[in-house]
Amino acid sequence: VQLVQSGGGLAHPGGSLRLTCAASGSISDINLMSWYRQDPGKVREMVAVISNDGRTNIAEAVQGRFTVSRDNAKNTLYLQMNSLKPEDTSVYCCNAGSYSAGSWGQGTQVTVSS
């Protein structure tokens, strides 16, 4: 599947943003859907993962602030980001399937600044 991201942009510290990742085809048979973020010169970091049965794994750095969800009927993955901090500034990418062999979205810049 092809993944198209939307959302993101500029937020103030403490603010909220929602990222959306729309798939071109069905995601019902894709177990893991994920969000990663990456800064220049750094390794891509897992932010949140959700399985087809709704189980989630959230990175410690964003636990309690970020929520991942998916709507298989709409073939869409979401990342709700609350209580944003400047250190959340990064390029966020969605993934369907696996890190090494799955599909990736185009990336969305999230900037948290006052």
Mind listing the pLDDT tens digit for each residue in 77-108? Answer: 999 999 999 999 999 999 999 888 889 999 99
**Distance, C-alpha 72 to centroid of its chain:** 16
Whether the Cβ atoms of residue 68 and residue 37 lie closer than 8 Å to each other = no
User: How far apart are the C-alpha atoms of 65 and 73, rounded to whole Å?
Assistant: 25
Mind listing the pLDDT tens digit for each residue in 27-84? Answer: 999 999 999 999 888 899 999 999 999 999 999 999 999 999 999 999 999 999 999 9
Please give the pLDDT value at position 90.
Answer: 97
Residue in the block written with tokens 């959340």: 88
Please give the pLDDT value at position 92.
Answer: 98
> Residue 7 forms beta bridges with which residues?
19
- Assign 77 to helix, strand or coil: strand
